[in-house]
């Protein structure tokens, strides 16, 4: 009898027709979903001058576009992106592990409310609050700080990320209580227990929130668009628009910059695939 | 609400994709036992002062998160609500009641933008779900080489939206030498204007969004498919059921929770779409692809109509909320 490991039972079928069909389907999928990205990779190294030379087949190999990119400040934008994602991710992860520790390991009044509030923010798309957020950033209540046009304005808001807190909390709940109590009996303080016992045990979850946080912050568009008022503070994704309309250079510089803006998230995904897939279903909450 | 749907998605994928961090409610028996035996003891024995200290510590650990959430989520949200009733001016804000809202709901530019948002959301959602399911069924299975196909197919999801949009804008080049038009040319199809025409701009944006959304839906479906009981397939085969019957009566019912969660998420994401439209067409040509968010952006940041823009944000929020509630109600009814 045939085995049924899948709904269509495709993997059980053998023979030339079935094999040919499978190869066709898989190839088509790979071409359709990676084609545009490979096109970008190839074209960025080509002598592209007009939009129509975007191609999957290389005509030449040249680094001209990347050299010209320097004149157009592309590497400054790239650096800005790295600054924002670096500090933003650090802040987000720290804030999340601290909050998760309280939510997972402590019992206190108001815990359910805090949890609900954090979940609620995950249902609130940041686009909706873009306009009032820009006003709040321009004049932080009580502190009277103006964060528009500062790196802090792009970094601080990404620190509040419900998804990371949620994933971390669920993971921390699984860490056995005995370990914590043993540490306490040995005289370790609260922070010490947290940093030497709990956090090292949460390394897999740190990987999950790290790689998701990275892709999320790298992909930020509206926030830097609002905050970075001066061109020299632009992050790479929002700089692409001005590169496109720059008539001094061809489309090649745009392609080179696009490739640079694309690579970090792809590298992060390929390097941390397992964590990424693991967080995917829990990430479905946020999407 | 969100947690409920996450949990269902999580249970579906428990075997393969999701491991520990997924919010699945069932911890391992061992972990549950240790917590039950150990947790109540200290709270019962500990004096009140120690417990109060514990509470203080908990709030101290929560403080950074609460401050950031307050400043960058809650205050903006309440500010947005307040502003939506005001005419924001330099000289001083003026209370205008529901004027901003009535302007949004009667203004033609707004009603058109809302309509475009809905069309884009529905089209993208349905397209991605149908294609995602189809592809998931095609590449489901334990074969080793399939991981490569899955990884490659998943790349669009992790790529930066602004870059994806630039790439597609180039591929959509309307001349017959444009990339997609060249490919269409091989099949004998005449060159299409894509983003350049009022008739096809919204559809072209939808095409790109489906391309980017399909792999995500496919992965969630694959996770759900892992949870389908294989013995049911065997039993169906013994009874002589066809592949279609097996799909219709075993696989699709088992995937129902996945459908609901994908539908909610995709629809919400579709309504608030911004970057795609902003980069590809910026609402053009002639407003044919203007969506709610691009209109709000233009009103708020370019025309300084902050009150109306804020009201637009609130309308979007209410729509999102209603949609989520609607899906939940429908799901409950179907489950009952």
Write the pLDDT tens digit of every residue in A167-218. 899 888 888 888 888 888 888 888 888 888 888 888 888 988 999 899 999 9
Looking at beta carbons, which residues of chain A come within 8 Å of B239? none
**CA dihedral sign, ordered B256, A173, A271, A126:** positive
**CA-CA distance, A111 to A117, in Å (whole number)?**
10
Asked if the peptide bond before residue B285 counts as cis, ω within 30 degrees of 0, the response is yes
Q: Which CATH architecture has domain A72-286?
A: Orthogonal Bundle (1.10)
**A62 conformational bin, left if phi > 0, alpha if psi -120 to 50, beta if neither:** beta
Q: Helix, strand, coil: what percent of chain A each, to 5?
A: 70, 0, 30
CA A218 to chain centre: 5
Position B164 scores a pLDDT of 94
Q: Which residue blocks in B84-229 are alpha helix, DSSP H?
A: 99-106, 108-139, 146-158, 161-171, 179-186, 201-226
- Asked if residue B309 lies in contact with residue A226, where contact means CB atoms within 8 angstroms, the answer is no
Q: How far apart are the first and last CA of chain A?
A: 41
**CA dihedral sign, ordered A75, B212, A54, B284:** negative
Determine, yes or no, domain membership for B174: yes
Q: Which residue has the tokens 């680094």?
A: A63
Average pLDDT of the residues in B56-80: 91
Sequence-separated (6 or more) residues with CB below 8 Å from residue B99: B87
The predicted-structure confidence for A218-265, as pLDDT tens digits, reads as follows 999 999 999 998 899 999 999 999 888 877 777 888 999 999 999 999
B304 CB near a chain A CB, below 8 Å?
no
Per-residue tokens: B306: 């902050």
**CA-CA distance, B328 to B319, in Å (whole number)?**
14
CA of A156: which chain B residue's CA is closest? B68
Please report, for chain A, the start and end positions of each structural domain, with discontinuous segments joined by +. Answer: 2-62, 72-286
Determine, yes or no, domain membership for B149: yes
Determine, yes or no, domain membership for B106: no
Q: What is the DSSP letter of A72?
A: T
From the list A163, A125, A135, the residue with the least C-alpha distance to B314 is: A125
From the list A196, A176, A200, the residue with the least C-alpha distance to A186 is: A196
Determine, yes or no, domain membership for B12: no
Is the complex ipTM higher than 0.90?
no
Q: How far apart are the first and last CA of chain B?
A: 17
Buried b (16+ CB within 10 A) or exposed e, A180-202: beebeeeebeeeebbeebbbeeb
Query: At B147, which CATH number?
Result: 1.10.3720.10
Determine, yes or no, domain membership for B91: no
**CA-CA distance, B78 to B93, in Å (whole number)?**
16
Full residue range of the structural domain in which residue B217 is found: 119-306+316-335
User: How many domains does chain B fold into?
Assistant: 1
B320 CB near a chain A CB, below 8 Å?
yes
Average pLDDT of the residues in A254-283: 84
Q: Nearest by CB to A282, from B22, B225, B274: name it.
A: B22
Position A2 scores a pLDDT of 55
Determine, yes or no, domain membership for B41: no
- Asked if residue A269 lies in contact with residue A204, where contact means CB atoms within 8 angstroms, the answer is no
Position B27 scores a pLDDT of 43
Looking at beta carbons, which residues of chain B come within 8 Å of A281? 6, 9-10, 12-13, 17-18, 22, 220, 223
Strand partners, B95: B86
What is this structure's pTM? 0.84
Q: Which residue has the tokens 């020299």?
A: A232
Looking at beta carbons, which residues of chain A come within 8 Å of B8? none
The length of chain B is 336
Looking at per-residue pLDDT, the higher value among A114 and A87 belongs to A87
Q: Which residue has the tokens 């933003």?
A: A88
From the list B306, B267, B309, B307, the residue with the least C-alpha distance to B292 is: B309
Determine, yes or no, domain membership for B232: yes
Strand partners, B94: B87
Q: Nearest by CB to B158, from A166, A204, A269: name it.
A: A269
Position A85 scores a pLDDT of 96
Per-residue tokens: B185: 């040319």
| Radius of gyration of the CA atoms of chain A, in A | 24
């Amino acid at each position: 009898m045939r085995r049924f490991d899948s709904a269509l039972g495709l993997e059980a079928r053998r023979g030339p027709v079935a094999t040919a069909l499978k190869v066709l389907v898989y190839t088509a999928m790979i071409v359709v979903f990676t084609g545009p990205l490979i096109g970008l990779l190839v074209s960025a190294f080509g002598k592209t001058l007009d939009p129509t030379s975007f191609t999957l087949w290389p005509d030449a190999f040249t680094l001209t576009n990347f050299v010209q990119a320097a004149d157009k400040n592309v590497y400054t934008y790239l650096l800005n992106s790295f600054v924002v994602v670096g500090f933003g991710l650090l802040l987000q992860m720290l804030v999340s592990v601290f909050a998760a520790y309280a939510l997972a390991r402590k019992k206190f009044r108001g815990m359910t409310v805090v949890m609900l509030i954090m979940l609620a923010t995950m249902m609130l798309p940041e686009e909706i609050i873009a306009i009032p957020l820009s006003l709040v950033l321009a004049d932080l209540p009580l502190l009277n700080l103006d964060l528009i046009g500062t790196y802090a304005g792009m970094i601080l808001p990404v620190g509040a990320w419900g998804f990371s807190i949620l994933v971390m909390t669920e993971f921390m709940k699984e860490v056995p209580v005995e370990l914590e109590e043993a540490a306490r009996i040995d005289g370790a303080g609260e922070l010490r227990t947290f940093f030497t016992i709990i956090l090292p045990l949460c390394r897999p979850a740190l990987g999950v929130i790290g790689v998701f946080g990275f892709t999320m912050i790298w992909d930020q568009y509206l926030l830097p668009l609002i905050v970075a008022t001066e061109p020299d503070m632009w992050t790479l994704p929002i700089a692409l628009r001005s590169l496109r309309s720059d008539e001094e250079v061809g489309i090649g510089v745009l392609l080179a910059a696009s490739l640079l803006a694309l690579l970090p998230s792809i590298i992060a995904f390929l390097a941390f695939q397992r964590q990424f897939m693991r967080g995917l279903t829990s990430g479905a909450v946020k999407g | 609400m969100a947690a409920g749907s996450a949990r269902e998605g999580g249970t579906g994928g428990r075997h393969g994709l999701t491991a520990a961090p997924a919010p699945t409610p069932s911890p391992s028996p061992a972990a549950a036992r240790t917590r039950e035996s150990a947790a109540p003891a200290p709270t019962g024995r500990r004096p009140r002062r120690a417990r109060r200290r514990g509470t203080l510590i908990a709030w101290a650990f929560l403080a950074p998160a609460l401050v950031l959430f307050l400043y960058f989520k809650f205050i903006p949200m309440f500010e947005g609500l307040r502003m939506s009733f005001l005419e924001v001016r330099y000289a001083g804000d003026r209370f205008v009641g529901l004027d901003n809202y009535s302007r949004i709901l009667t203004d033609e530019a707004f009603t058109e933008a809302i309509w475009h948002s809905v069309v884009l959301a529905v089209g993208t959602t349905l397209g991605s779900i149908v294609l995602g399911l189809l592809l998931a069924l095609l590449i489901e299975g334990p074969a080793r080489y399939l991981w490569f196909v899955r990884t490659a197919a998943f790349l669009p999801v992790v790529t930066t939206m602004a870059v994806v949009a630039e790439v597609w804008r180039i591929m959509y080049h309307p001349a017959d030498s444009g990339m997609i038009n060249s490919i269409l040319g091989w099949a004998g199809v005449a060159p299409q204007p894509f983003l350049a025409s009022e008739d096809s701009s919204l559809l072209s944006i939808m095409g790109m969004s489906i391309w980017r959304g399909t792999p995500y839906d496919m992965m969630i479906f694959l996770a759900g498919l892992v949870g389908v009981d294989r013995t049911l397939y065997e039993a169906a085969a013994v009874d002589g059921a066809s592949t279609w019957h097996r799909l219709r009566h075993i696989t699709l019912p088992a995937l129902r929770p996945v459908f609901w969660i994908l539908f909610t998420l995709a629809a919400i994401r579709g309504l608030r779409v911004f970057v795609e439209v902003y980069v590809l067409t910026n609402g053009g040509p002639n407003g044919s692809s203007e969506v709610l968010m691009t209109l709000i952006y233009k009103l708020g940041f370019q025309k300084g109509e902050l009150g109306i823009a804020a009201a637009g944000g609130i309308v979007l929020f209410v729509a999102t909320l209603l949609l989520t509630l609607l899906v939940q109600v429908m799901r409950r009814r179907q489950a009952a």
